[in-house]
Amino acid sequence: MKKKIKDLAVFGGTPLFDKTLHVGTPNTGSREKLFARIEDLLERNWLTNRGPYVKEFEEKVAQMVGIKHCIAMANGTIALEIAIRALGMTGEVIVPSFTFIATAHALQWQGIKPVFCDIDAAAHNIDPAAVEALITPRTTGIIGTHVWGRPCHIENLTRIAGKHNLKLLFDAAHAFACSYKGRMIGRFGDAEVFSFHATKFFNTFEGGAVVTDNDELAEKIRLMKNFGFAGVDKVIYIGTNGKMNEVSAAMGLTSFESMAEFIEANRNNYLYYKEKLMPIPGIEIAPYNEKEKCNYQYVVLEIDASTFGVSRDELVKIFSAENIRARRYFYPGCHLMEPYATLDRGSMPKLPRTDVLCERVLTLPTGRTIDKTDIDKIAALFMFVHNKSNEIKEKT
């Protein structure tokens, strides 16, 4: 390892890893089972539109979450858009800026203003006290993202939504198979939305779902995701095409069979990263609550540049040269991306805790393609960069 460090690509040597490590490398379950299902659906010649695999997948998700309705969708973004519309959100909706851009775009896309809210610095999730301060007569809803699968302040948000008669939707794109106080994520608010994108620990290639216990809402969402069709030649509602196809559902059913292994690999990586990185000054690892169900799909660090020695952005460059693609999710924050940066110019929200986190956060590769040897090398690289920067500081 020492020799390798000396020969690092940043010093003109060879990269630490021959093959690039990514955040979001997809998990695939049994190929035989997936291919058998694809063979079967081709044989049946039923590829989409209320197919049997989609139905089976919806039942499995609903059963796992412990909820009445799961409506599978083509992706998490369309699931958000449809849930927002079916809930009747209009005017202004309060959202965190520290989330993937899809949460904000799903509102703006349909002419609803996302009102960006600051986060609780420790939880990385929307701060309920800040939410309350942003409510105006135009506010119709709140969307909380369970960032990294760590639950929002659910009780406080539920209380605020109830008090002000607002709809409450959770973007649970990161939180499939996670729980809060023993209840599965998916069972909170008016509805919750999952993403099963390829980069999520559990994927359907592309895919998503809305889950809810509300019969009327579920019915509306089912109509909306299928052009408003209530039967042959009978359209009773405005709708779009949000349907999940049979191949995606086949992948989802196959992913279910290996889900425990996917989580186990992520958990082992997280614990090992924690053990190896905790002793390094200036690095904090975002903790998961071991008492809850958790998918551990993101290994998230906060880098304190003054203590660690180099900034998060410098680290990204060094890591990239060594073939480690660490990501700055969700830099620079939705409020600084377009169209929001321009639309809100002059009335730019003050989000100091979001701004600080966006400069510090770094997510590391994990999943089944990473093992302890890789983590040892990554930890040694962190240590090397820290020591080197100290040496330089002492000399100057």
Interface with ligand T4K (CB under 6 A): 22-26, 75-77, 99-100, 102-103, 145, 171, 173-174, 195, 197-199, 208, 325, 329
Integer angstrom CA distances of residue 224 from 298, 321, 358: 32, 46, 35
For residue 47, the minimal CB distance to ligand T4K (Å) is 20
Instruction: Choose between 192 and 384: whose C-beta lies nearer to ligand T4K.
Output: 192
Nearer to ligand T4K, 158 or 297 (CB): 297
Q: Which is nearer to ligand T4K, 174 or 368 (CB)?
A: 174
- Beta pairing class for 208-212 and 191-195: antiparallel
For the CB of residue 24, give the shortest distance to ligand T4K in the complex, in Å.
3
The DSSP secondary structure of 255-312, one letter per residue, reads HHHHHHHHHHHHHHHHHHHHHHHTTSTTEEE----TTS------EEEEE-HHHHSS-H
Count, residues in the chain? 396
CB of residue 169 to ligand T4K, shortest distance in Å? 11
The alpha helices in the chain, defined as continuous H runs, are 2-6, 31-44, 52-65, 76-86, 101-108, 128-134, 154-163, 215-224, 246-277, 305-308, 312-321, 340-343, 352-360, 372-395
Residue 297, sorted as left (phi over 0), alpha (psi -120 to 50) or beta, turns out to be alpha
Which of residues 174 and 386 has its CB atom nearest to ligand T4K in the complex?
174
Q: Nearest approach, Cβ of 232 to ligand T4K (angstroms)?
A: 30
Shortest spacing between CB 327 and ligand T4K, in angstroms = 6
Name the DSSP letter for residue 336: G
Contact 160, 142 (CB under 8 A): yes
Handedness of CA 189, 194, 200, 203 (dihedral sign): positive
- Least spacing, CB of residue 279 vs ligand T4K, in Å: 28
| Spatial distance between the Cα atoms of 80 and 86, rounded to a whole number of angstroms | 10
Minimal distance, residue 173 CB to ligand T4K, in Å:
3
**Closer residue to ligand T4K in complex, CB, 102/130:** 102
CB of 43 to ligand T4K, least distance (A): 27
Which C-beta is closer to ligand T4K: that of 48 or that of 320? 320
Task: Tell me the residue number closest to ligand T4K, measured at CB.
Answer: 76
Cα separation, 278 vs 195, whole angstroms: 31
Nearer to ligand T4K, 101 or 380 (CB): 101
For residues 54 and 173, which CB has a smaller minimum distance to ligand T4K in the complex? Answer: 173
Give the integer Cα–Cα distance in Å for 151 and 333.
19
